[in-house]
Amino acid sequence: MNKLRIALSMALVAMVSPAFAEGDSQWIKPASSMLDNLTAGLVSIGIPVIGLGVICLALWAGVSGKIEWMRVGIIIIAGLLLTTGPGLVKSLFGA
């Protein structure tokens, strides 16, 4: 009985998948625009947050008299990922 269910499930998937491929490409527009909005929002919100983090870290280093290099490295890596991430996502999904 399980083999019959598996075979029917695979047949159903094989029958439904070509319907997406053969139709017009308008069905992907909402996901594509959402991806654009998400990546633009990440950059426009994330870059100022990283900037504030750098400023706060610099103020803390000035007050305490020591620089925490681990936190500096984490902020630099976070900034790099935040600026390059949306481009990588767009190239990954071909948008």
- d(CA 87, CA 93) in angstroms, rounded, equals 10
**What pLDDT shows up at residue 63?**
92
Residue type, 86: P
What's this model's pTM, rounded to 2 decimal places?
A: 0.55
Confidence of residue 21 (pLDDT cuts 50, 70, 90): low
Q: Is the pLDDT of residue 23 over 60?
A: no
pLDDT digits (tens, 9 = 90+) for 59-94: 988 899 888 889 889 888 988 888 888 778 777 776
* Rounded Cα distance, 85 and 43, in Å: 9
In the numeric block, the tokens 């053969």 are attached to: 22
Backbone angles phi, psi at 67, to 5 degrees: -100, 130
Domain range annotation of the chain: 45-95
Evaluate if residue 24 carries a pLDDT over 70: no
Rounded CA-CA distance 88/81 in Å is 10
Q: How confident is the model at residue 15 (pLDDT cuts 50, 70, 90)?
A: low
Give the Cα separation of 93 and 50 in Å (integer).
26
CA distance 50 to 47: 5
* Per-residue model confidence (pLDDT) at position 95: 56
